Amino acid sequence: MQMIEISKTDQLDYQTNEAYKSLRTNIQFSGEDMKVIAITSCMPNEGKSSISMNLALSLAEASKRVLYIDADMRKSVLVGRYKMSHANFGLSHYLSGQQKLEDVLAQTNVNRLNMIVAGPIPPNPSELLVGKRFAELIRAAKATYDYIIIDTPPVGAIIDSVIVAKQCDGIAMVIAADEVSYKFAQKAKAQLEVAGCKIIGAILNKVDMRRNSRYGRKYDKYYKRYYGSYYGAGYSGKEEE
């Protein structure tokens, strides 16, 4: 097994950290059969990779054995964003038959968190994901881990996330506030439903808490008044990506 050093993690303010705890709790109360969860979005840059990674970290923090799989083999940002070192082999190596599962699995410097990074970009990601090796990977992981979190490409762009979701217990959609139209989100949701994927919910991201709305300034002032000591000087009131 490889050893990956995660040198950088997202610096979360109090509200964002509480939001991840709430997301973690919702997943834990979804039932013991909800172990393999895919995360997708409607389009690129909605923050799905950050959310899937922080969800995995939050579950590991809650003493759960977690496997994080980066299945966005076309445009992975994970290794660069979190400054991961020694990630020599990844998912594309395993799915193409170049490496065994134990060779692409990686232990991290985060307790109870193991990973499989995406690996080099293959010429045929969809064909690799639909093959039997991915299904075998999921079956083996379910016998070892409490949760498997899988980052997948945007469902509105390519079919990969639908293929992955068919091997999962559920899929969650990340939707960036004020960036995705209702019609486009409904189209992405319908695509998952037609494929028979179980949608466990949507995660609203990039919410500006400073705006005059239901969750606007009054809400922000309330949190600053009662939880101000937790925020620190860098708090802006805006959700992390």
DSSP characters for 20-38?
Answer: HHHHHHHHHTT-TT--EEE
pLDDT digits (tens, 9 = 90+) for 125-176: 999 999 999 999 999 999 999 999 999 999 987 889 999 999 999 999 999 8
H or E stretch covering 99: none
Where in the chain are the domains? 31-231
Partners of 150 in beta bridges: 38, 69
Amino acid at 15: Q
CATH class entry, domain 31-231: alpha beta
pLDDT digits (tens, 9 = 90+) for 9-25: 788 888 888 888 999 99
Mean pLDDT, residues 64-74 taken together: 95
Give the rounded percent of residues in the chain with a pLDDT score beyond 70. 86
The span from the CA of 236 to the CA of 241, in Å, is: 13
Residue 34's pLDDT band (cuts 50, 70, 90): very high
Closest to 238 (Cα-Cα) out of 51, 52, 57, 15: 15
Partners of 2 in beta bridges: 106
Give the pLDDT of residue 214.
52
For the chain, the first-to-last Cα distance in angstroms comes to: 31
DSSP string, 169-212: SEEEEEEETTTS-HHHHHHHHHHHHHTT--EEEEEEES-BTTSS
Residue of 212 and 179 predicted with greater confidence: 179
The span from the CA of 3 to the CA of 119, in Å, is: 15
Q: How far is CA 133 from CA 19, 122, 128, 234, 241, in A?
A: 35, 15, 8, 45, 32
Backbone torsions φ then ψ of 163, nearest 5 degrees: -60, -45
pLDDT digits (tens, 9 = 90+) for 164-188: 999 999 999 999 888 888 898 898 8
pTM score, whole prediction: 0.84
Mean pLDDT, residues 36-48 taken together: 91
Mean pLDDT, residues 64-79 taken together: 90
Helix (H, G, I), strand (E, B) or coil at 125: helix
Which tokens go with 103? 């060779």
Give the pLDDT of residue 230.
40
